[in-house]
Amino acid sequence: MKNLFQALFTLSTISSIYAQSTDVVSTLEIYDIETNKRSVVLSEDAHFEAPNWSNDGNYFVINQEGSLFKISLDGEKERINTGFANRCNNDHGISPDGKTLALSHNVEDGKNGWLTSCIFTVPIEGGEPTRVTENTPSFWHGWSPDGKTLIYTAKRDDHFNIYAIPSNGGKEIALTDSAGLDDGPEYSPDGKYIYYNSVQSGKMEIWRMRADGTYNKQLTDDPFSNWFPHPSPDGNNLVFISYLEDQGSTHPAMKNVALRLYNIKTKTIRTLCEFIGGQGSINVPSWAPDGKRFAFVSYTYK
């Protein structure tokens, strides 16, 4: 089992590295769920990933080449000072009060550096990181609405499951205990639930559980590989990414994907758009504060 999961995660890591090392154009886009229109914020002949939308609606945070950057609504770019954390991966996000940034930094370099991913926090304006998780690898995915708890995916005892920890550090708590991969956890706006993706049913689907890890419920069941559910600020919808061809337990880059919207009340799904993407497109929370728009990254080869 250990070799299986290492192979799965290594495949995704290699795919991401491949995307960064080839001639790729990255485009930061906004999707409006009311008008069904896409608009471009920034396009570069370079590889960047995973936009967060700031709480005040004025900028985005992305990762690129181990650093984090602020991107204004008109595409201006500014590096965030993250101190010694210069190997940041695409798992980062802003606290509910807008004052703190959680990031995942690979403590060690090299091909297997992703296995040393550790969660840190820094002031939103930048500064030296404060370590939150002692155990590695740990990949941040969500803040609780009150800002007191972080949830994340972590490899412990040869399995990747979902964990919670106080945002200022402390004892981690396992929320899932699955032989298959559980990933992409994020709190509902009221803090009652956690949405995530899992292969518990035999393929990658979107799930929901209570915040204490009980009452797990599968929400999607279709031919696609479904990843990274992000609840809207009003709690009405989930946006998630679907690989149009089954990818097993991996989420590689540069694949045919679709962004889809799950209506939490009606349990209906509509496809918003299709493009080339996957790893790096929408790994982290990216809704605008108004709940009508979200950000994502699409890719093309030059």
pLDDT tens readout for residues 225-259 = 999 999 999 999 999 999 999 999 999 999 999 99
Q: Which domain covers residue 206, as residue numbers?
A: 2-301
Instruction: Give the pLDDT score at 22.
Output: 65
The answer on pLDDT for 21 being more than 80 is no
pTM of the model: 0.93
Q: Which tokens sit at 244?
A: 């149009």
Q: Work out how many domains the chain is built from and give that number.
A: 1
The model's confidence at residue 87, banded by pLDDT at 50, 70 and 90, is very high
pLDDT(6) > 80: no
* Measured distance CA(87)–CA(66) in Å, rounded: 4
Q: What are the Cα distances from residue 283, in Å, to 1, 76, 140, 179? A: 25, 22, 10, 22
The yes-or-no verdict on residue 302 having pLDDT over 90 is: no
Residue 96, pLDDT above cutoff 60: yes
Distances in whole angstroms, Cα of residue 277 to Cα of each of 24, 25, 121, 197, 259: 11, 11, 28, 18, 10
Residue 63: pLDDT above 70? Answer: yes
Query: Please, how many CA atoms are within 13 Å of residue 142, restricted to the half-sphere of its CB?
Result: 27
Residue 231 is part of a domain; what is its CATH number? 2.120.10.30
Q: What pLDDT, on the 0 to 100 scale, is given for residue 13? A: 46
